[in-house]
Amino acid sequence: MRKEYLMTPGPTPVPPEVLLVQAKPIIHHRTPEFSSILAGVIDDLKYVFQTKNDVLLFASSGTGAMESAVINCFSPNDKVIVTSNGKFGDRFVKLTETYSLNVIKLEYDWDKVVNPDDIKDQLKKNSDVKGVFVTQSETSTGVLNDVQKIGQIVKDTEAILIVDSITGLGAVETKTDEWHLDIVMSGSQKGLMLPPGLACVSVSEKAWEAVKNSKLPRFYFSYEKAKKSLEKNTTPFTPAVSLIIGLSEALKMIRKEVLENVIRRHSILAMAARSGIEAMGLKLFAPPEGRGNAVTPAWVPDGVDGKALVKMMTNKYGITIAGGQDHLAGKIFRVGHLGYFERFDILTTLAGLEMCLCELGYRFDLGSGTTAAEKVFMENQF
Ligand SMILES: Cc1ncc(COP(=O)(O)O)c(C=O)c1O
């Protein structure tokens, strides 16, 4: 007998309630029934994004949402600041360069947070900057960048602030309107507890001005087309019907738990994961000043083969965790706890880690990780 535990920061587990509604016979998208579901989904997404701005949906993975922000808001040679302290910040660099924007790169080591003062300095030196790109929750490293502070800096300039909240939304506080975040994006296979394939983007008034002036070509990902159709509770092209129906159910679950409690649950799960991992004598990867709630990366201890650890977790215990990406492959491992996660998911994973590390020759007190996490859960109820 084998039981599977998906402990990655995307895709993430899908609740049975959501799976069940997706298994129903397909309905047509040009019907009052689907329009009503879509309208409800957009309303509930605004609740999760904490915004009154437009929220648009696309049938794509998260990268589609990233690309949509570039092609809808800018023109070739527009000057933009792109921050990067990980794999997904690097993706914004590649995307903006692909579309011939004039990119000022603010690059950091992967274990550092983006420094908002660097953005302030660049905006002072370059009054013609049209956009600032930031990854809120850097999934490759677990680093959380302070988009609230960056929002304060960007709001009084001509530039719009584009935030990749693909693993931020629903896991950490993301106050789109209060923090002046012009474009915020997420993907379905993350905190929204769905299979992959759906992306959502919020667009502020200031960003709509940028859309009007933008000259890059777009068709499928056109914000104007999506907005015009949404005004009639429909979509310009065939939507991901089953995913949207699933999203409707997932958003109901978030509403029922209340967003504030969802975020609190994530912060306690992250605290327990960190405590457990540190209690085993391992070192966390992300710096204390910037640790998110979506994923906990840690250094593989000396003498242990990191790739073998990740493989053993899956093959022997059915617990899928993520390894390090790019230059961190084999050096760190990442435990995801984003979306449909509860206390025993963390305890199971820590127990699996303890057994695998022990088998791979690392010496420490068995049970130290789970004990530390249990203490966090007993002291922090949700
Ligand atoms: C922070 C972040 N940005 C962008 C992406 C890319 O999303 P996708 O793989 O859905 O295209 C991911 C996916 O893991 C992510 O975590």
Average pLDDT of the chain, as a whole number? 98
Is any atom of ligand 1 closer than 6 Å to the C-beta of 296? Answer: no
Residue 293's contacts (CB-CB under 8 Å, 6 or more residues apart) are: 137, 144, 171, 172, 263, 266, 267, 269, 270, 337, 338
Residue 300's contacts (CB-CB under 8 Å, 6 or more residues apart) are: 306, 309, 330, 331, 332, 333
**Dist. CA 166 → ligand 1 center (Å):** 6
Q: Fold for domain 258-379?
A: Aspartate Aminotransferase, domain 1 (3.90.1150)
**Residue 22, pLDDT score:** 97
Q: What confidence tens digit (pLDDT) does each residue in 76-119 have? A: 999 999 999 999 999 999 999 999 999 999 999 999 999 999 99
Is CATH 3.40.640.10 the classification given to domain 16-256? yes
Q: How crowded is residue 156: how many other Cβ atoms within 10 Å of its Cβ?
A: 9
Residue 173's contacts (CB-CB under 8 Å, 6 or more residues apart) are: 263
177, 127 contact by CB (below 8 A): no
339, 257 contact by CB (below 8 A): no
Query: Token match 């966390």: residue?
Result: 284
For residue 91, the ligand 1 atom closest to its alpha carbon is 4
373, 281 contact by CB (below 8 A): no
346, 373 contact by CB (below 8 A): yes
Cα 306 to its chain centre, rounded Å, is: 24
Main-chain phi, psi angles of 256, to 5 degrees: -65, -40
**What confidence tier does 70 reach under pLDDT thresholds 50, 70, 90?**
very high
Is any atom of ligand 1 closer than 6 Å to the C-beta of 233? Answer: no
Q: How crowded is residue 107: how many other Cβ atoms within 10 Å of its Cβ?
A: 14
* Measured CA distances, 28 to 34, 240, 296 (Å): 7, 11, 41
Pairing type for strands 183-187 and 160-164 reads parallel
Is any atom of ligand 1 closer than 6 Å to the C-beta of 166? Answer: yes
Q: What confidence tens digit (pLDDT) does each residue in 137-192 have? A: 999 999 999 999 999 999 999 999 999 999 999 999 999 999 999 999 999 999 99
Is any atom of ligand 1 closer than 6 Å to the C-beta of 88? Answer: yes
Query: Token match 């230059």: residue?
Result: 327
Give the mutation target among 70, 88, 133 for probing the ligand 1 site: most ligand atoms within 8 A of CB: 88
Supply the pTM of this predicted model. Answer: 0.98
Percent of the chain with pLDDT over 70: 100
**Dist. CA 100 → ligand 1 center (Å):** 22
**Dist. CA 95 → ligand 1 center (Å):** 13
Query: Token match 């065939």: residue?
Result: 238
Closest residue by CA, ligand 1 atom 8: 62
Q: What angle do CA 255, 264, 21 make, to 5 degrees?
A: 35
**What confidence tier does 283 reach under pLDDT thresholds 50, 70, 90?**
very high
What's the chain look like in SS3? Answer: CCCCEECCCCCCCCCHHHHHHHCCCCCCCCCHHHHHHHHHHHHHHHHHHCCCCEEEEECCCHHHHHHHHHHHHCCCCCEEEEEECCHHHHHHHHHHHHCCCEEEEEECCCCCCCCHHHHHHHHHHCCCEEEEEEECEECCCCEECCHHHHHHHHCCCCCEEEEECCCCECCECCCCCCCCCCEEEEECCCCCCCCCCCEEEEECHHHHHHHHHCCCCCCCCCHHHHHHHHCCCCCCCCCCHHHHHHHHHHHHHHHHHCHHHHHHHHHHHHHHHHHHHHHCCCCECCCHHHECCCEEEEECCCCCCHHHHHHHHHHHHCEECEECCHHHCCCEEEEECCCCCCHHHHHHHHHHHHHHHHHCCCCCCCCHHHHHHHHHHHHCCC
Tell me how far apart the alpha carbons of residues 153 and 123 are, in angstroms, rounded to a whole number.
Answer: 9
Is any atom of ligand 1 closer than 6 Å to the C-beta of 162? Answer: no
Q: What confidence tens digit (pLDDT) does each residue in 293-310 have? A: 999 999 999 999 999 999
Is any atom of ligand 1 closer than 6 Å to the C-beta of 62? Answer: yes
Q: What confidence tens digit (pLDDT) does each residue in 107-127 have? A: 999 999 999 999 999 999 999
Token code pair at residue 37: 């579901």
Q: What confidence tens digit (pLDDT) does each residue in 248-274 have? A: 999 999 999 999 999 999 999 999 999
**Residue 289, pLDDT score:** 96
Residue spans of the domains in the chain: they are 16-256, 258-379
As a whole number, mean pLDDT of residues 28-55 equals 98
Is any atom of ligand 1 closer than 6 Å to the C-beta of 10? Answer: yes
Is any atom of ligand 1 closer than 6 Å to the C-beta of 340? Answer: no
Measured distance between the N- and C-terminal CA atoms of the chain, rounded to whole angstroms: 32
Is any atom of ligand 1 closer than 6 Å to the C-beta of 135? Answer: yes
